[in-house]
Chains A and B, each alone.
Chain A
Amino acid sequence: MLPMSEVLWILAQLANRAEQAGRDGQVELAQQLVPAPLLPRALELVSSPPRVVTSPQLVLQLALRALLHCDPSGDQVADLEEVARILGLLLLALADHVPHDSGSTEALMLELVRNELFFRVHGQLDRYEEAYELFFHTLPQLAGHPDLIDVDAVLRQAHGVSLEGFWTLTVAAGIVAAGDPRPLTFPLKIEGDPIDPQTVARWESTWSINLPTAQRLAREDLASGSGWSFTAFYERPILTSSDGRRFAMRAHYLSDKAAPTGMFWAVARAWKQLGRDHEQWARLFGAAVEARGLQLVTAHVGDPARLFDDDQLRGMWGAGSGEKVCDLLVPYPDAWVAFEFVHRNLTKATQTTGAYLDLLKDLELAVLEKADQLDATLERGLAANTLPSPDRIFPVIVTGASLPANPLLSKPSQPP
């Protein structure tokens, strides 16, 4: 039986290398891992997504199985290269058994969403900027909001770490993890100890998962049969391996924690740990997303006379029978842009599995109701004839965090 700790360590390295490699890099990886006689089949699969032998998805699939079937008390092996070659063969075998959708249009759209969910690794620094704006500028400005929560106090009470310290450490770990082909190991060492080691340890424990819990989740992931379910590595990305080593199995799952989605769920977990109501936090975060979106568009347009917020739209065109008014309208000489800002984040199920029913639920909660508000507002606006009639209209929904559902919106008149 293969030793668990060595296997997980090698797979974490492979996952990172595969993440950072393009198609050429994945071919190179396959050449290193797969014996020559089997290489043609491996290369054939490299050009046949989603069964790419050395894709991070497949490497994590094997890691789930390693959690359940490798020997947790196995001795360290002398020849790691031999273990890597065995893993190469296992990856090749697994590649032919990845659950694969049919070629239907619906399946293709879903595949696009799943790919976007899993491989959305670019633009992370921009997402950090939005998290910074939301948590350190926008939320503190919502002092009069009925659902106001002191996020700093929540994190201090639940985890013993301030918001500043928590986010700073998460950003630092995320940047280092994403930029290094080697898996990031813990404890996190920061030159000069600018943040005291006890605080760093408390921060680390909030993102850590122990082996029995990871194994239980791995069993559930594999039982889902989706091929995309990685809850064992997602919510708490720092795994304590069987030999006590602690590392991030997939760097991207760690680096995503400092972005709005990761921070939203970190606070949600802390808030829940204190026995409080998730919806209160979700509503407040939603208000912050709307405030931030309005601030961005207002600053861009400049002239307040060229903007109509929901109150002005209600005054101008009424609210209709269902009180449906969009958040903001920006009229141009020949076009209208209508905005709805929405707080709804992807559920954890969607983040990790991309299962079709989970996506539909998220889409319903986040998008369809908002599309209805845009639709009703625009219809009343065109009928009222109080603004110059546009040649083009752009309905836009802005979410607080990524919701890669554009493929499912191809036919908005026929929601999926």
Chain B
Amino acid sequence: MLGVDPRCRRLSLIDLFELRNLLDLARERGTTIPSLLEAWVESTIPDLSLRDWLTTDGPGVPIDETEPEWRTFVYRRLEPPPGSHAD
């Protein structure tokens, strides 16, 4: 099936954050996962990572200007404790 059936595109390997990039970008651009995957695997650089393609020949990475939860989590723990003399 893989590599034999002409309908079947090449196997893609992505990591979790690239999956999130893919889904966010599909939503942001009003397109679908298959459309983005098709553009990547048919590009001239399918051997590079999805992230590399998105940031070079591809449509770019999704833009999210909200403060991510993980950053708030980290910053809160790095704030000087109340009563410290740090300015």
Contacts and interface: CB of A to CB of B under 8 A. Distances in A.
Given A378-B1, A407-B47, A194 B79 contact: yes
A406 B51 contact: no
A77 B27 CA distance: 58
A275 interface: no
Q: Is the interface of B mostly helix, strand, loop or mixed?
A: mixed
A26 B4 CA distance: 45
A337 B80 contact: no
Interface in B42-87: 46-49, 51-52, 55, 68-70, 73-74, 77-81, 84-86
B13 A406 contact: yes
Q: Which of B5, B41, B47 has the most CB of A within 10 A?
A: B47
A193 B77 contact: no
Interface stretch (A15-23, A146-154, A237-245, A291-299): A291-299
A123 B85 CA distance: 35
Contacts of B10: 409-410, 412
A128 B80 CA distance: 23
Contacts of B85: 192
**B interface, size bucket:** 35 or more
A398 B9 CA distance: 16
Given A330-B33, A398-B16, A371 B5 contact: no
Interface in A282-323: 289, 292-293, 296-297, 300
Contacts of A191: 80, 86
Interface in B23-38: 23, 26-27, 32-34, 37-38
Interface of B: 1-5, 7-17, 19-21, 23, 26-27, 32-34, 37-38, 41, 46-49, 51-52, 55, 68-70, 73-74, 77-81, 84-86
Interface of A: 109, 112, 116, 120, 122-123, 125-134, 136, 164-165, 167-168, 171-172, 190-195, 260, 289, 292-293, 296-297, 300, 330, 332, 334-335, 337, 367, 371, 374-376, 378-379, 382, 390-407, 409-414
8 contacts: A122-B55, A171-B70, A297-B23, A395-B2, A397-B14, A398-B14, A406-B12, A409-B11
Given A192-B85, A289-B16, A394-B12, 18 more contacts: A112-B48, A116-B49, A123-B51, A129-B17, A194-B78, A194-B79, A195-B77, A260-B16, A332-B33, A334-B34, A382-B5, A394-B34, A396-B37, A399-B15, A406-B46, A409-B12, A412-B10, A413-B3
